[in-house]
Amino acid sequence: MAATDALAEQTEAIRSFNRFYTRQIGVLDEGLLASPYTLTQARVLFELGTRKSATAAEIGEVLGLDAGYLSRIVQHFIAQTLIARAPSSQDGRQWVLSLTPAGRKAFRSLDRASHELTASNLSRLSAARRERLLASMKDVQQLLSSAEHTPQVVIRTHRVGDIGWAIERHGRLYADEFGLNEEFEALVATLFAQFATRHDPARERCWIAEADGERVGCVFVVRHAENPDTAQLRCLLVDPKGRGLGVGKRLVDECIAFAKSAGYAKMMLWTNDVLVSARRIYQAAGFSLASQERHHSFGHDMVGQVWTLTF
Q: Are 49 and 56 in contact (CB under 8 A)?
A: no
Map out the domains of the chain with their CATH numbers: 31-125 (1.10.10.10), 153-310 (3.40.630.30)
Q: Are 234 and 167 in contact (CB under 8 A)?
A: no
In DSSP notation, 197-244 reads: HH--TTT-EEEEEEETTEEEEEEEEEE-SS-TTEEEEEEEEE-GGGTT
- Residue-wise pLDDT tens digits, 11-47: 999 999 988 888 887 777 767 778 888 889 999 999 9
Closest C-alpha to 42, from 31, 56, 51: 31
How far is Cα 305 from Cα 310, in angstroms, rounded to an integer? 17
How far is Cα 252 from Cα 246, in angstroms, rounded to an integer? 10
Looking at per-residue pLDDT, the higher value among 283 and 7 belongs to 283
In DSSP notation, 242-303 reads: GTTTTHHHHHHHHHHHHHHHTT-SEEEEEEETT-HHHHHHHHHTT-EEEEEEEEEETTEEEE
Closest C-alpha to 219, from 187, 190, 253: 253
Beta bridge partners of 233: 221, 269
The gap from C-alpha 241 to its chain's centroid, in whole angstroms, comes to 7
Pairing of strands 95-99, 83-87: antiparallel
Closest C-alpha to 192, from 166, 210, 217, 171: 166
How far is Cα 200 from Cα 203, in angstroms, rounded to an integer? 6
Q: Are 217 and 231 in contact (CB under 8 A)?
A: no
Pairing of strands 95-99, 54-55: antiparallel
Tell me what the pLDDT averaged over the chain comes to: 92
Residues in the chain: 311
- Residue-wise pLDDT tens digits, 51-92: 888 888 899 988 988 889 999 999 999 999 999 988 887 777
Using the Cα atoms of residue 231, residue 159, residue 213 and residue 237 in order, give the sign of their dihedral: positive
How far is Cα 64 from Cα 8, in angstroms, rounded to an integer? 27
Q: What is the pLDDT of residue 57?
A: 87
How far is Cα 59 from Cα 112, in angstroms, rounded to an integer? 22
- Residue-wise pLDDT tens digits, 167-180: 999 999 999 999 99
On the CB side of 56, CA atoms within 13 Å amount to 23
How far is Cα 283 from Cα 305, in angstroms, rounded to an integer? 13
Q: Give CA separation, 7 vs 1, 33, 137, 239, 240, in Å.
A: 10, 34, 21, 24, 21
- Residue-wise pLDDT tens digits, 242-278: 999 999 999 999 999 999 999 999 999 999 999 999 9
Beta bridge partners of 251: none
Residue type, 23: R
- Residue-wise pLDDT tens digits, 211-236: 988 999 999 999 999 999 999 999 99
Q: What is the pLDDT of residue 303?
A: 97
Q: What is the pTM of this model?
A: 0.63
Pairing of strands 230-238, 266-272: parallel
